[in-house]
Every structure is written in C-alpha cells, then in structure tokens.
Amino acid sequence: MATFGATTTNANPNRSTEVVSPPSDSVSSLCFSPKANFLVATSWDNQVRCWEVQKSGTTVITVPKASISHDQPVLCSAWKDDGTTVFSGGCDKQVKMWPLLSGGQPVTVAMHDAPVKELAWIPEMNLLVTGSWDKTLRYWDLRQQNPTWVQQLPERCYALTVRHPLMVVGTADRNLIVFNLQNPQSEFKRVVSPLKYQTRCLAAFPDQQGFLVGSIEGRVGLKEGRRKFEVVGGIKVFTTYVSCMFASTAKRYLLFDFSGKEYHTEPFVHHTFATAGSDGAFNFWDKDSKQRLKAMLRCSQPIPCSSFNNDGSIFAYSVCYDWSKGAKIIIHQQQNPIFTYICHRRQRSKASHGLERPAESEAFYPFRLEFELNADEIVLDIDYKDHYH
C-alpha cells in the first residue's frame, strides 16, 4: 500500500472540482463509501486508489489516502456496508479485499476463470457476489476459500445490481436475469432487454420496486413494478415482479446511480438519479415525474463511470477514453481526470416536493406510446424527443 498525490487544478465545463492525482490510464469504476466521503477509483493502469473528499459549503478538497495494485487492469469495485473494506476485481481474474480504514494489506478472496466484470457486497446475506466473463455468477463467504454457490449464466456478465432481495444481472446477447435472493440458487425470471443493443449498465431502485437498464445505443429502460408476496411456511416470500416502462435519451451509452444508497427521510433523495455517457454529458433526473432536473455541459471526452456519495450531495464522475474503439486510437499522455460536482438542492429535489417544473428546454415530450399486454406483465415503450440538444 502506498501514498500518492500532488495538488493540481484544472478548469472544466461544469466548474467541478478535479480530484488530485488522477489515474494514469482510463478510469473503469468509481464508488463512494456508504458511511463517509471516501472515494475509490479503479483504472486500466492496474491501480485502486482512494481519496478523502472534504466538503465545506461550496468548496471541495480531495486528499489522496492510499492505493493498491492488481496484476492487470481493474474493472470494478464495491464497498462493504460498514465502510471499512473495499473489494476490487478485474482482468487478473481475481477479487481482492482491501481493509482500507485499518491500513491492512489486500488479500485475494475470490477467483474466476476469466476477467471479473462486476461485484457487490450483500450485507443481508454476509456474502460477496461476483460476475465474470467466464459466464458464471459466484457467491463467496469470506471465511471460506471456495464459493458457496456457482450460478451458470447464459453469457458473459456485463452488468449487475443488487438491492436485497432483488438482484439483476445483464449479460451478452441482451439477457436480463432477475434473482430473488431469498432463493439465490435459481433464476427468478429471465427476459431479453427491450433495448436493441448491448447492455451497458443496471441500477436497482432503493425500494427494490424496479431497475434501470442502459445500453450502448444511448437508451435507458425503466423497469418498474409492484412486488407480490405469498406466505410459505409462515414466511412472506417475494413471488412476482410485474410491469415495466422504457424511455430513451440521446446518449450513445449511459450509466447511472441513485442519489443516496438507501431511502432517506429527506424527500429530495427519493428516486433521483443521474445518467452519463460517451457524449461527455451528464444529467440529473426525477424518476417518478420523468423530468430532467438539470442538464450539464458536455465534457471533451466520454464519462465512463460515476457515483453519488452516501447522502447524494456530491456526484463524482470521470472524463476519459472509454476504450469503445480499442487500443488503436489511444492518445498518449492524455489526461484522465476525476471530478466532483456539488449537487444543489435543485438537482436533488423531487418535482413533487416544491421543485418548479423544468423549463421547456429541459423537459421530455412523448411522441410515441405503445402498449403490450402479456399474462404476467405490462410493457410500455415510450420514446421521448429531447429538446435540449
């Protein structure tokens, strides 16, 4: 483990604060601690870095804390729910557990037969789940060397999101596999993404009532439903997941994160999320009103990853090459900055809690609405015309 860092400043279109000592290669993931303002970034230079983000009013200061190395590029990261430990995985086919706050050394806790693309800690089960390009999903008890269960996937894992008991996995060939973690050893439901191209990312709602799916075509699907329960052996069991709705935007691919990791008493945190994409733009949205809360200026490079802090007041995003065109167009010595943007109450508020309706230039207007009724679900496919760009 090594310390690093030297203070730098850099102007950017949205006047965000640049994180000091950014990675020397493209950033692959960002994640904030669920307990404090510690930001972790993984990158293609084989490194996992951590900064402390200090906020005072409208001023943000970032302090480099520590870093560790993998043998090959790192693709994903996640925090343990107590905010003490970071998990990271990547092209070296292993997952490392880093006891960051205690200053301990990283140890390998999981292995796959191909690069590890996604991982998540499930506190309700005290298990780590990892998804790989070896077409498996594996559950790990950190006290054991071997996985507690290996779930075969139809294709390579590209995206994963967990809000217990809901878990959704996106794979190649546009498969979306829904798991009920009350019975994690079998698929609950498998559907084909309604989006036409490769799945890029997934994000479950904090209330487990649905999830977002984004693809490289620049569309976002919002799958929302109600949960039905039945009593089995005196236990209330999640049995059915129905109804969905889809919307589109003008990005080539998108990623998103909800403002706040859990439900909060403050109404402005409910159902607010951000999208970002390869066009270098990021936007804040209200899920329920389907209104854009704020459209930001485009950056000069793609935004491959982003993350909210635990109370939704800080949004971190990276601006760098996204490897969508391979190694042949790499620009040597290009910068790979990470920025932090302070989310003002207007970006975090719900339209139904005192926020004025967005101006016409920031609103979405539906021009096509189609219904498809099946035995177990209602599908609404909504296209929107974006008047902003």
Per-residue H/E/C for 38-97: EEEEEECCCEEEEEEEEEECCEEEEEEEEEEECCCCEEEEEECCCCCCEEEEECCCEEEE
Range of the domain at 130: 1-7+16-152
- What is the per-residue pLDDT for 345? 59
- CA-CA distance, 24 to 43, in Å (whole number)? 8
Confirm whether 295 is domain-assigned. no
The 3-state DSSP class for residue 352 equals helix
Confirm whether 41 is domain-assigned. yes
- What is the per-residue pLDDT for 326? 77
CATH of the domain at 33: 2.130.10.10
Beta strands 74-79 and 86-90 are antiparallel
Tally of domains in the chain: 1
**Residue 223 CA to its chain's centroid (Å):** 16
Confirm whether 146 is domain-assigned. yes
Confirm whether 385 is domain-assigned. no
- CA-CA distance, 96 to 98, in Å (whole number)? 6
- What is the per-residue pLDDT for 256? 53
H or E element in which residue 345 lies? helix 345-348
Confirm whether 73 is domain-assigned. yes
Confirm whether 93 is domain-assigned. yes
pLDDT in tens, the chain (389 residues): 554 444 333 348 899 999 999 999 999 999 999 999 999 999 999 999 999 999 988 899 999 999 999 999 999 999 999 999 999 999 999 999 999 999 999 999 999 999 999 999 999 999 999 999 999 999 999 999 999 999 999 999 999 999 999 999 999 999 999 999 999 999 999 999 988 889 999 988 888 888 888 888 877 887 766 544 444 445 444 443 333 333 344 344 445 554 433 322 222 344 678 888 888 888 888 877 778 888 899 998 889 999 999 988 899 999 998 887 777 766 655 789 999 999 875 554 443 333 334 333 333 322 222 223 233 332 333 333 332 22
- What is the per-residue pLDDT for 367? 23
- CA-CA distance, 140 to 18, in Å (whole number)? 36
Instruction: Give the global pTM.
Output: 0.80
Tokens read off for 296: 């930001």
Q: How many CA atoms within 13 Å lie on the side-chain side of 163?
A: 17
Confirm whether 134 is domain-assigned. yes
Residue in the block written with tokens 């209200």 = 286
Confirm whether 239 is domain-assigned. no
- CA-CA distance, 349 to 313, in Å (whole number)? 11
